[in-house]
Amino acid sequence: MEDIKTKIENLRETLRYHSDRYYNDDAPEIEDYEYDMMMRQLKDLEEKYPQYDTPDSPTKKVGGKADNSFESVVHTVRMESLQDAFSREEICDFDRRVQETVSSVFYVVEPKIDGLSVSLEYRDGLFVRGSTRGNGDVGEDVSGNLKVIHNIPLKLNKPIPFIEVRGEVYMPKKSFDKVVDRQLINGEKPFKNPRNAAAGSLRQKDSSVAAGRGLDIFVFNIQQIEGVELNSHKESLDFLKELGFNTVPFYTKVDSIDKALDEIDKIGEARGSLEFDIDGAVIKVDDFSQRVILGSTAKYPKWAVAFKYPPEEKQTKLVDIEIAVGRTGVLTPTAVLESVHLAGTTVSRATLHNQDFINEKGIGIGDIVTVRKAGDIIPEVLCVNEHNPDSVFKFPETCPSCGEKVIRENDEAAIRCINPECPAQLLRNLIHFCSRDAMDIEGLGPAIIETFVNAGMIKNTYDIYSLNPLEIANLEGFKETSANNIIKSVEDSKKNDLSKLIFALGIRHIGAKAGKLLSDHFKSMDAIMSATVDDILEIDGYGTIMAESVVNYFAGESAKELIQKLKEFGVNMNSTNVIEDERFAGMTFVLTGTLPTLKRSEASKIIESFGGKTSSSVSKKTTYVLAGEEAGSKLDKANQLGIEVIDEEKFMGMIK
């Protein structure tokens, strides 16, 4: 029995870890199906051995926890999850349980959208708040990011006194493809699937990021309503359409479980051709009065069930392995496959990740492999079924783009080209250099940069500053006005703070925040270039790897040449961050809530101008929490830790 108890505890620990990765980090490490099977195994064990059941088991919990990056929202009506079913027999068992309690049952069958569940609240027909599901009881206020989603109405077609609806924010497949393409161009780790892309986008602090991700929503439930009486689910969906909501795209009312199963089959056959991702189909009791009689368990409503489709797998031949070079020089292998129809689309390529993955699976050209779409979207090679003994694939020792020797550092799985003049890296480096968080050169997007590179107008990063408006205007699709606008943006970028230039250089391990720390500490590019590892380690927030990366970058001749050329073109090489005095030196502020007169960004700049720094989370290292109206979980945590909380009036007194 001790073995059973250990097995249950191990399952719980594993499920908690993967739940946290899925719901709170938007970075799943296993497929939904594997997670569902583990959850099913745990539930069966808890039912068989009730002496080991506990109230904090993952089988009792809903979704993730509320992220303290946003203000907390307590849900008046609990946002429940659904009981999962994986076979026709389990669906029939659900019907049997329903029929034992109520009679003359009608069901509504609809697709289960794979996204992030949210609540939308309206008063007198106007949008007032939107929040995530969180753990079902407490979510996060993400109103700002929800407002920028085109299909979320800010004003309803009828002035209902109050209505709260539930929907699923998702990322259409076309939008997902564009986001992943941008991430790959910029050398970033791509989202694994549309669900995690949607969740990651909705949790952005800057709503303009969410606005640029192409998010959408399907509304599928009324949580609570005032002023209107509705009696059934189908009636409520029809009413939601009248109000202007984008409801689930198709839903069918049926009078038997056999017809419901037929609808599940139809949805399953169509899922590959849909423009959005689904991970199942939902069967709901239509009549609201019957739902009240059926009630809910601690976790699930008894009047609904979600059928989960198993991931589709097929075998095919691996005919070649291609190597691409990313912005940071990483060599990425891609399997070229004999085309196979999988989850509704034709698959001819699949990711192979890196050399370790290839070695682990024993993959070679000519092998017969099993392919699956991870999250029904990204094709991946699962295993080798028949190995070609004459082929064991090895990464090239030289870069396929420039021919220079490639390296693999001890602490990395990646093999990379470190030649900064590598042609394959040029385009990606240029796109990063001109991006918003870097030099922010408006008008020089990926497509235009590629046009200029192909025309021979840009061969190195510093060529951006020698662009000729006449040459631009002579290119097809360009006019004098657009050419002059680009040149103006290029000229304006010369005035940027040193921190933006450091980030724009694309130094490994150095992001925008690290670039600002470096700029604020050393004040000038010359000081940074002459700094030692020990000098850089004096910066709070820098570790050995980051410090060595900075020193190694500026030790290269190509980096020295680039900086010299940028100086000659008049690019600013100094920090423009003016320190009034050092009264906040060594202090860390956390801002929360709405301040009476200051924006958070304004308060942050003031703090930095007096030598302090800001953080997004409260910890023992926090000096002050600057709190305004509707301060939420950060204020609670400050009180728990005994951190001093100040308001704007006291803050203004501190800076006089």
CA distance linking residue 399 with residue 151, whole number of Å: 46
Residues pairing with 116 in the sheet: 169
Q: Record the tokens describing residue 626, joined without a space.
A: 């600057």
SS3 343: coil
Contacting residues for 608 by C-beta, under 8 A, at least 6 apart: 520, 577, 614
CB-neighbour burial class of residue 625 (10 A; exposed 0-12, middle 13-18, buried 19+) = buried
CA distance linking residue 173 with residue 196, whole number of Å: 12
Contacting residues for 454 by C-beta, under 8 A, at least 6 apart: none
Cβ atoms within 10 A of the Cβ of 37, count?
14
112 labelled catalytic: yes
Task: Enter the DSSP assignment of 464.
Answer: G
Task: Enter the DSSP assignment of 560.
Answer: H
CA distance linking residue 77 with residue 75, whole number of Å: 5
How does DSSP assign 81-97, residue by residue? ---EE-SHHHHHHHHHH
Contacting residues for 351 by C-beta, under 8 A, at least 6 apart: 332, 334, 335, 378, 379, 380, 381
Contact status, residue 381 vs residue 371, Cβ threshold 8 Å: yes
Residues pairing with 398 in the sheet: 405
Residues pairing with 379 in the sheet: 373
- Cα angle at 477 between 475 and 480, to 5 degrees? 70
Q: How far apart are the first and last CA of the chain?
A: 69
Residues pairing with 107 in the sheet: 254, 285
Q: Record the tokens describing residue 443, joined without a space.
A: 């008008």
Q: Record the tokens describing residue 105, joined without a space.
A: 């049952």
Cβ atoms within 10 A of the Cβ of 564, count?
10
- Cα angle at 127 between 124 and 129, to 5 degrees? 120
List the catalytic residue out of 112, 253, 373, 500: 112
| C-alpha R_g of the chain | 28
Q: Record the tokens describing residue 10, joined without a space.
A: 């191990």
Using the Cα atoms of residue 529, residue 532, residue 537 and residue 542 in order, give the sign of their dihedral. Answer: positive
Looking at the chain, how many residues does it have? 656
CA distance linking residue 440 with residue 496, whole number of Å: 9
Contacting residues for 529 by C-beta, under 8 A, at least 6 apart: 554, 560, 563
Q: Which among 89, 62, 94, 92 has a CA at the least distance from the CA of 305?
A: 94
CB-neighbour burial class of residue 485 (10 A; exposed 0-12, middle 13-18, buried 19+) = middle
Q: Which residues are catalytic?
A: 112
